[in-house]
Each structure stands twice: as structure tokens, then as C-alpha cells.
Amino acid sequence: MNDTIRDEAQVPDYDLPPLLQLADGSPVRDAATWRGQRRPQLLTLLAQQVYGQTPLQGIPLHVETLESVKLSGGVERRQLRLLLDGAHALQLLLWLPRQRLAPVFLGLNFNGNHSTHPDTAILTPPGNEAVRGSNAGRWPVEGILARGYGLATLHCGDLFPDRVDGRADSVQRLFEAPVDEGSAWWAVATWAWGLSRALDALLETGDCGPVALIGHSRLGKTALWAAARDERFALAISNNSGCAGAALSRRRFGETVAAINTRFPHWFCRNFHAYNDREDALPLDQHMLLALIAPRPLYVASATEDLWADPRGEFLATLAASPVWQVLGHEGLPVREQPAPDTPVAGRVGYHLRSGGHDVSAWDWERYLDFADSQLR
Ligand code: GTR
């Protein structure tokens, strides 16, 4: 991976495939054409070429409350067990603020629910005590609740263990085998499917307001794909999602399609591997993924030192996606140039470049809460 581009001067010339144009070349000028024709075309294209097809097969979901406790300040914590087809369990940790029907942020976590908060009452799989609270810095639970938002999280590994051979132990075992292996779903699409099941469970409680998706890095890629597919998500936040997330693949800056498919062959569909070192052959780019979230609010965040995720490519994809919000009657990104570090910009589409590395900071969260205040309140 030493040949990766880390200098803007080395970015190749490229043309982005047009967003507001139908497959037959005719322009998309109105909401009806976007919704009725272009949006479905792009969803199909991204599923077939990047993320894989999510089966239509319905899986029965049974939600059980394992814990429900009142904490100080009117906060409530619940731990829910989502039993799929009576055979595969997910655990959802939910924090609700004092306010009724508050908006709730939902995000997958990397290491288990107990890694997001030090409280020893948070259930943990046997033998997994060591990571308790280890990712708490990325989940400022008390601060989120104090601002009147709820927070829900589940472990991505409950859906698809993040390993090359994770498929056998994944929730995919509940499904019929895919007909076409080239466009079959892998980890990212399975995680995204799980976010929709978590949303089902949150809606079933009757205690949640609008649900906003958030994800960091590989789980940011996942949050974008989940929000693109499932329009019940009210808002989406991509934190440093990079390659096959918010960053334009054609720039080949930082992580490339070949690099990601080589290191993580279990994340995307087999068809995507055909574009290793052939980004210009892709019939799409990541601005199309972002555009599928319109007209709902979208916030993309980069970090100055996170060159592997191509901060500038994330900004340019957001800018290139923005005209779709305009077609749908909203202000997209309010700027044309990438803003200076630590200077958030937001219309219905927001962006910031935080100083620092690949992470989710308290400062990032304050920006997401500000954005949610302006868009969901
Ligand atoms: C990196 C990977 C990125 C990003 C990151 C993460 O190793 O190259 O695409 O997903 O992991 O998820 O932290």
C-alpha cells in the first residue's frame, strides 16, 4: 500500500458519472423523476456493484426487554434482546432522556455494547469484560442525554463478525443462499440490514422520536448505506467513513478500492472487487450514495490527519451530491470550497473537517447535536 496517494498533486484527472441524468441520458430536473426513476436506478447500481443485494426475505423479529432502569435526571436505560427468527439474538442498548419522544441517535459499535460505557450493569458476552468502557470516549452518553437526545447502539459483530470467515456465524444463516454470488451481500450490507431491525425495535417501544443514524469509519460506510436504503431514518451522519463511504473512489487518495477489497474481502460484494485498480470503470461514485439520503439531512465529517479516509474526497462527494437536495427543494451544502479545519458548515447538508486523527471526538458530537437541533427539532 506504499503506492497510495497522499499528495493532492498526484490525484489523477477524473470525470464523475453524472448524478442528475437517467441511464438513457435524459436529465433529472424534478422531484418526481428523481424519486420515481433516478433514485431506484442508483440504489440498484450501488447494491449490484458495491454493497451487494439485501434479500427481500422477511425475518420475524421478537423484542424482549432484558433491563429497564430509571437513572438520575429522568434518564432511562433499557437493554433489549432482538430475537430474529427465534434463532439469532442481537442486543440493543438504549438510553432515553427525560424528554418524551426525543430524537434518538442509533449507531453500531465495534466491540460490544459494554465497550461504549463503563457501567457494569451493561450486559456483556462471557469472557469479554476487558473491553468494558474502552470506547466510551466515542460515546458521550451523558452529554447526549443532557441535550435531550436518546442513544441506541448494538454490536456489529452480533450481525456479522468482522472477519474474513465471519459469514458462517452471521445473521445470513437465517436467509436462503444468494442466487448470484457476484452481487451477494457481505458484512457492510448485513450490518446495514441490522440497523433497520434495530429501528424496527426502537419504533416498537413507542418511546422514541425520529431516529438519526451515526457511524464511524467502516460503520460510517454502513450508516450511509443503511440510510440510503431505509428512508425511515430521519438523518444520517458519516464520521470519517472514507473509501466506499463518503469519499470519492476515483481520486484514489489514501485507501483505494484495491486496498480495501484486499484487506477486507468480506465487506463488499464480489462485483466490487472487479474495480480494484480500475476506479474509472465504476459506473458510479460515492456522491451517488450520499445523494440517496436526500431530502433528509446529511452530515459528513472528516479529520485533518485522517488522510487514509481522504478528507478532501469526502468533501467533494458531499458537494457533488448536493444538487439533489436542491432539486428536492432544500438548501444543500452552503459552500463550494472545503472549509478550514474546525469550521462547520451546514444547510440541509453539513460538513466539517476536524483537526486531528481518525476518531469520534466530543467536539464532533457537539456538531452533530447542533445539526440535529437545527434539522429535527
Ligand atoms: C481501516 C480501513 C478503513 C476504515 C477503518 C475503520 O483499516 O482501511 O476503511 O474502515 O479501518 O473502520 O476503522
**Which residues form the pocket of ligand 1, taking CB atoms under 6 Å from any ligand atom?**
217-218, 242-243, 255, 260
266 classed as catalytic: no
Q: What is the pLDDT of residue 5?
A: 96
Please give the full DSSP string across 227-281, using - where no structure is assigned: HHH-TT--EEEEES--BTTTB-GGG-BSS-HHHHHHH-TTTS-HHHHTTTT-GGG
Domain boundaries, given as residue ranges, for the chain? 14-376
Q: What is the pLDDT at residue 126? A: 75
d(CA 306, CA 353): 10
What's the pLDDT at 49? 98
Which is catalytic among the residues 88, 273, 330, 358?
358
Whole-number pLDDT of residue 125: 78
Alpha-carbon distance values, 263 to 131, 256, 258 (Å): 24, 11, 9
Whole-model pTM over 0.85 = yes
Mutate to test the pocket of ligand 1, among 186, 264, 286 (most ligand atoms within 8 A of CB): 264
Predicted local confidence at residue 76, as pLDDT: 98
What is the Cα gyration radius of the chain?
A: 20
DSSP for 347-366, written as a single string: SSEEEEEESSSSS--HHHHH
Q: CATH top-level class for 14-376?
A: alpha beta
pLDDT of res. 323: 98
DSSP codes joined into one string, 89-124: EEEEEEEE-SSTT--EEEEEESS-GGGS---TTS--
Q: Within a 13 Å sphere around the CA of 260, how many CA atoms are in the beta-carbon half?
A: 30
The answer to whether 97 and 142 have CB atoms below 8 angstroms apart is no
Q: Which residues of the chain have pLDDT under 50?
A: 1-2
Ligand 1 center to 43 CA (angstroms): 23
| Active-site annotation holder among 115, 170, 183, 217 | 217
| Residue 138: per-residue pLDDT | 98
Spatial contact of 183 and 52, defined as CB atoms under 8 Å apart? yes
pLDDT of residue 328: 98
